[in-house]
Chains A and B, each alone.
Chain A
Amino acid sequence: MSDKATFEFLCRMGDNTLVLGHRVSEWCGVAPVLEEDIALANTALDLIGQTQMWLGLAGEIEGRGRTADDLAMTRDAWDFRNVLLAEQPNGDFGQTMMRQFLFDAWHLAMLQALTRSCDTRVAEIAAKAVKEVRYHVERSGDTVIGLGDGTEESHRRMQAALDLLWPYVGEMFIPDAVDDAMAEAGIAPDLTELRAGFDSHVGSVMEAATLTIPDTDFAHKGGKSGFRHSEHLGHMLTQMQWLQRAYPGASW
């Protein structure tokens, strides 16, 4: 197992939280109700904090002197390793919360497994993050249930969000060479083993939400490998990275 694979893996973890944290932060000041403004900002804040830890470790392992900020602010889209789900646009509040729940349910299972990583640095980050994510998934799950089983309109919107986002679930569980290397080294779990727990968790939430999981296992891919991101990521990066790119070398 090479440091390169570990670096890739850590970028996946950190880019997921960076990109999703960015998306969630786009809600600042315009949520449907004040409590949601607070909760969304809180979620984004946790995710950005986790990004600092994952990308910080990635930079250390890479050994080329790149910091978490260097990785976040100066890589181009093809070097990003987040899953496609994380970069999908916010859409309406229902779409944002559905994306959050699907990600959170995977994230929780992943972090729980990572707390048992044979790499203590990975296990420590996971132990810290898992406390936050337990809360994230509880909240996003409750919101999916509340809106799925709310009014006719809220149900319709949540079903549309689930139909739209379901094809992005598979990528989180389909292992590639990097995932295989991590599993073999005992750093990260075998992704396929997380799927059953995810399906049962998501299944019970969708049932309570009176929503129907699409009958397809089709999965878009290309995010975590960096081979083919969506068009959305580049636009996000033009915002996120603008200051660092426009004023290179400045200290902020």
Chain B
Amino acid sequence: MYAQMVKSTGQGVKSLDEMEPQERAFQERINAGEKIEPKDWMPAGYRKNLIRQIGQHAHSEIVGQLPEGNWITRAPTLERKAILLAKVQDEAGHGLYLYCAAETLGVSRDELTEDLLSGKMKYSSIFNYPTLTWADMGAVGWLVDGAAIMNQVPLQRTSYGPYARAMVRICKEESFHQRQGYDIMMKMAQGTPAQKRMAQDALNRFWYPSLMMFGPSDADSVHSAQSMAWKIKMNTNDELRQKFVDQTVPQAEYLGLTVPDETLEWNDDKGGYDFAEPDWSEFFDVIKGNGPCNVERLAARNKAWDDGKWVREGLLAHAEKRASKKVAAE
């Protein structure tokens, strides 16, 4: 999940009877499964909440280029290099669709970028973990994209039209990424003893951070209740986490790898696995900026933005010169 702990109005969900007529009509459209489009009336809280959520998702795609970009120049074969490049290119493309979706809500990409760079807006906690071996490219695809898909597939049905449509396209590419990641893991798990060791090590390091991607339990969260009423959040964090674990454990078994959780056990009654919670204090540390790579990630994005200033200004100045020449010619 690329958006974590997004705050809504914080006031709890109103019943239809408590709403003013305009808001009630809006909620009834959502309840009926209609899509809300940019020019439609919407409550200020809905707009604000969506900007936060879509913006955070977009930022995650952008920052998410860095841990994978870390291995492009060291990819072991030409084909792996090409696949990884294509994947990172897709992620930049996802960022672009999502910023465009956010722009339909009245915020500019530059404003959102400034908020990312100043640390005001967040991106997913997962991208604050380092990628240390080639197997991490497998683990990121398999686990991180796998966790993202759990959240994003239902979001194809989200109430806001531009977001839902962006998500349809994103999901197609993400499931391809996940298969590629699993394919890397398979090669490693069936490879030399050193490769197997890399694969197990990657799973050990990425398992709990992947579980954290869904965010802490939100069964009692007023923010989540409101987001779910607005259909900009479709499932609780615990539901999605359970689904992810249930899907991933058999995949790990197939690879011959061990999930780093001694308490992991199939529970017949609930039809799912019982599993250990991640260390939530670590999660909150990462969110606060104290993850292993927070400082580097934000510094890298800030440096890219600052170093690129002359380029953006140059291209803009040229475009203005051309436009004024064109006007002069007319």
Contacts and interface: CB of A to CB of B under 8 A. Distances in A.
A pairs with B: yes
Contact of A150 (B109, B304, B314): B314
Contact of A151 (B72, B95, B314): B314
A136 to B, nearest CB: 15
Given A22-B73, A247-B192, A33 B311 contact: yes
B81 interface: yes
Contacts of B307: 30, 32, 92-93
A48 B134 contact: no
B19 interface: no
Contacts of A157: 310
Contacts of B74: 239-240, 242-243
Interface string B54-88: 00000000100110110011111111111001101
A52 B318 contact: no
B310 A146 contact: no
A236 to B, nearest CB: 8
Contacts of B175: none
A93 to B, nearest CB: 5
B315 interface: yes
A153 interface: yes
Nearest to B316: A150
A108 interface: no
A33 B314 contact: no
A147 interface: yes
Interface in A183-230: none
A116 to B, nearest CB: 27
Contacts of A249: 192
B82 A49 contact: yes
A251 interface: yes
A146 B85 CA distance: 26
A32 B92 contact: no
A42 interface: yes
Measured as residues with beta carbon below 8 angstroms from the partner, the interface class of chain B is: 35 or more
Q: SS class of chain B's interface: helix, strand, loop or mixed?
A: helix
Contacts of B305: 32
Contacts of B323: none
A41 interface: yes
B195 interface: yes
B317 interface: yes
B85 A48 contact: yes
Given A34-B99, A146-B318, A153-B310, A252 B76 contact: yes
Contact of A37 (B76, B92, B317): B92
Contacts of A239: 73-74
Contacts of B82: 45, 48-49, 52
Contacts of B68: 28
B310 A151 contact: yes
A25 B92 contact: no
Interface in A73-91: 73
Contact of A72 (B66, B78, B96): B78
A68 interface: yes
Interface string A10-31: 0000000010001001101111
A150 B318 contact: yes
A69 interface: yes
Contacts of A247: 192, 194-195
A150 B313 contact: yes
B33 interface: no
B47 interface: no
A2 to B, nearest CB: 26
Nearest to B313: A151
A129 B92 CA distance: 24
A145 interface: yes
A247 B196 CA distance: 12
A244 B184 CA distance: 15
Given A38-B92, A45-B89, A72-B78, 5 more contacts: A32-B307, A34-B95, A147-B314, A247-B194, A252-B191
Give the top 6 A-B pairs by smallest Cβ distance, nearest first: A32-B308, A154-B314, A150-B314, A28-B69, A29-B65, A41-B89
26 contacts: A25-B72, A29-B69, A32-B311, A32-B312, A34-B92, A38-B96, A41-B85, A41-B86, A41-B89, A41-B92, A45-B85, A52-B78, A68-B78, A69-B77, A69-B79, A92-B307, A147-B315, A149-B318, A150-B315, A151-B310, A153-B310, A243-B74, A243-B76, A243-B134, A247-B194, A247-B195
